Amino acid sequence: MRKFLLGGFVIFMAACAGDNEGYRISGTVQNAQDGQKLIVSELNDSNTQVVHIDTVEIKEEKFELDLPEKDQPTISFLSLEGTRGNVVYIANNSPVEFTVYPDSIYSSEITGGKDNEVLSEYLASVKDVSQKMGKNRNDLREAMMKKDSASLQNLQAFQEQLFEEDKKTKSSLVESNPNSIVSVMILQDMLNTSAYSSAELKAFYEQLSPEVKELPLAKIVKTRLDKMSKTAVGSKAPEFSAPTPEGNELALSEALGKVTLVDFWASWCKPCRVENPNIVEVYKKYHDQGFNIIQVSLDRPGQKDKWIQAIEDDNLGEWNHVSNLMFWQDPVAVDYGIRAIPAAFLLDEKGNIIAKNLRGEALGAKVEEVLNGSSAN
């Protein structure tokens, strides 16, 4: 599923005050009570934690606060005490001013600095596309209930159109703003969908300025891109070994057939369990011709029994299974850049990745195509 990620933001304002080094954030908060607090925070360098920076009290619906100068642009947040949500802004040694709407926190307005201009444009586009897609999904459900095939076809076409428009908007913003940290934020969002190839994303990354590439967030994105490239179609699948249910070590190279499916799943993953019967069907049809499977489970520590029970319940015992029982920290999953399951890689007999994330009939068709091709050779 494609997701639009960027949620929960408040507005921040940074400025040098006179001859003093630092920033000033200021603005208005509609209908705020005197003494109500605004909390300033920022994302840490590892992109894993929001860190509290300072707090300011509101007086007569207004606030202002001086903050230390930043060495580099930082993704920051302003949260209103007693209100859910926040507004994101970029602290980048430029004055920023806010108009905060507590009843519609994500509609709050930010002015100040080029980065915040780009961010506001991006968030507006995300909101617009999200609203259109939400309505379209509801219309699709209604058309399905009514079994209105003509409407379904039109709505599905419109959904694809929205995806393409969203891709163009993101691409244009990155290409037009190589000096902005917001371009890195957009790239990170692009990485979290299946809409872009590793080659496309690397091309966008290379357009960033040298200064932006040195930002901590950009280095995180680069690491993810490198991992993505390792598992791109055409690449050699990363070798691995992991424990089987019996406790023996099994390597990928030992499990290869003429065509091999490396499938990441877990007993707790409902979409994985729904897909398992399809995998069983393809295996039964093509195993005798050289189709092998190795499933890598992301089950949790201490839950080996659930993993083994799921193998039995779903009739998966005919092929190879491995797991380190380390949930998302499984080293095989980390090496393959797995951030959502089910995730699957189809390999040729040399261990090269020839397709990714095929499901149902598409998986069977590709396996048949490759096996018939190798037979012809």
Between 375 and 140, residue with greater pLDDT: 140
Which domains occur in the chain, in start order? 23-112 (2.60.40.1120), 116-230 (no CATH), 241-376 (3.40.30.10)
For residue 32, how many other CB atoms are within 10 A of its CB?
23
Q: What percent of the chain has pLDDT over 90?
A: 79
Lowest mean pLDDT segment, chosen from 72-81, 187-196, 357-366: 187-196
Alpha carbon 169 to chain centroid distance? 17
CA-closest candidate to residue 99, choices 88, 111, 115, 81: 111
3-class SS string, the chain = CCCCCCCCECCCCCCCECCECCEEEEEEECCCCCCCEEEEEEECCCCCCEEEEEEEECECCEEEEEECCCCCCEEEEEEECCCCCCEEEEECCCCEEEEECHHHHHHCEEECCHHHHHHHHHHHHHHHHHHHHHHHHHHHHHHHHHCCHHHHHHHHHHHHHHHHHHHHHHHHHHHHCCCCHHHHHHHHHHHCCCCCCHHHHHHHHHCCCHHHHCCHHHHHHHHHHHHHHHCCCCCECCCCEEECCCCCEEEHHHHCCCEEEEEEECCCCHHHHHHHHHHHHHHHHHHHHCEEEEEEECCCCCCHHHHHHHHHHCCCCCCEEECCCCHHHCHHHHHCCCCCCCEEEEEECCCEEEEECCCHHHHHHHHHHHHHHHHHC
Nearest to 13 by CA among 113, 108, 85: 113
Average pLDDT over residues 143-152: 89
pLDDT in tens, 315-336: 999 999 999 999 999 999 999 9
Question: What is the distance, to the nearest Å, from the Cα of residue 78 to the centroid of all Cα atoms in its chain?
Answer: 23
**What is the chain's mean pLDDT, rounded?**
90
Tell which residue, 4, 3, 22, 5, has the closest CA to residue 13.
22
Confidence at 376, pLDDT banded by 50, 70, 90: low
Mean pLDDT check: name the lowest of 11-15, 88-92, 116-120, 218-222. 11-15
Average pLDDT over residues 150-161: 91
Q: Which residue has the tokens 């489970």?
A: 297
Share of the chain above pLDDT 70, in %: 93
**Per-residue model confidence as pLDDT tens digits over 72-103:** 999 999 999 999 999 999 999 889 999 999 99
Tell me the C-alpha distance between 189 and 191, whole Å: 5
CB-based contacts of 64, cutoff 8 Å, min separation 6: 24, 25, 26, 27, 56
pLDDT-derived band at 271, boundaries 50, 70, 90 = very high
Burial of 60 (0-12, 13-18, 19+ CB in 10 A): exposed
- Note whether 318 and 287 are within 8 A (CB): yes
Q: Which of residues 301 and 229 earns the better pLDDT score? A: 301
Beta bridge partners of 277: none
